């Protein structure tokens, strides 16, 4: 799989590592992929993250390059997920794929059914760190 550079805040990394220690997260298929992504990410302090990077609680416009479908989602922790409000869990395939990507980056990622897709970050209309808000 194609793996672009990732930037993750130290704040998000700490919270996600704690999440992955829980029994619920460990039982999800995406847990090991999220661990891999965190292990290869460049960690930065929240105030140093560029505003075009997908962080936790960011609103992200992404496009599935295979289908052409474009949507705006918010990347959230599992207990905050709500598909009806486009709040997608970090432990969902698209959530894990988007964390740490910059606008313009794309990643090939496994999706349910044994296939892969290529997701591209089109925009980050909201990022908590850019507003100095740490959710």
- One digit per residue, the tens of pLDDT, for the chain of length 135 reads 557 789 999 999 999 999 998 867 667 778 888 999 999 999 999 999 999 999 999 999 999 998 899 999 999 999 999 999 999 999 988 899 899 999 999 988 776 677 788 899 999 999 999 887 655
The answer to the question of residue 108 being in a domain is: yes
* Position 95 in a domain: yes
Question: Residue 135 domain-assigned?
Answer: no
CA dihedral over 135, 5, 33, 38, signed as positive or negative: negative
In a domain, 19, yes or no: yes
51, two tokens: 């505003």
Q: 37: domain CATH number?
A: 3.10.50.30
The single-letter DSSP state of residue 96 is H
| Total domains present in the chain | 1
Quick check: is 26 in a domain? yes
Whether 133 is covered by a domain: the verdict is no
**Residue 30: inside a domain, yes or no?**
yes
Per the structure, the complete domain to which residue 36 belongs is given by 7-128
pTM: predicted TM-score of the whole model, two decimal places: 0.89
């Amino acid at each position: 799989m194609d793996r672009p550079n990732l930037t993750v805040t130290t704040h998000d990394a700490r919270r996600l590592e704690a999440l992955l220690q829980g029994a619920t997260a460990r039982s999800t298929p995406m847990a090991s992929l999220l661990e891999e992504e965190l292990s290869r990410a460049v960690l930065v302090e929240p105030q140093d993250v560029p505003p075009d990077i997908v962080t936790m609680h960011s609103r992200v416009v992404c496009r599935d390059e295979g289908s052409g479908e474009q949507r705006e989602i918010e990347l959230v922790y599992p207990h905050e997920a709500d598909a009806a409000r486009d709040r997608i869990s970090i432990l969902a395939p698209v959530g894990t794929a988007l964390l740490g990507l910059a606008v313009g980056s794309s990643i090939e990622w496994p999706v349910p059914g044994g296939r892969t897709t290529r997701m591209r970050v089109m925009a980050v209309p909201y990022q908590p760190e850019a507003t100095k808000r740490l959710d």
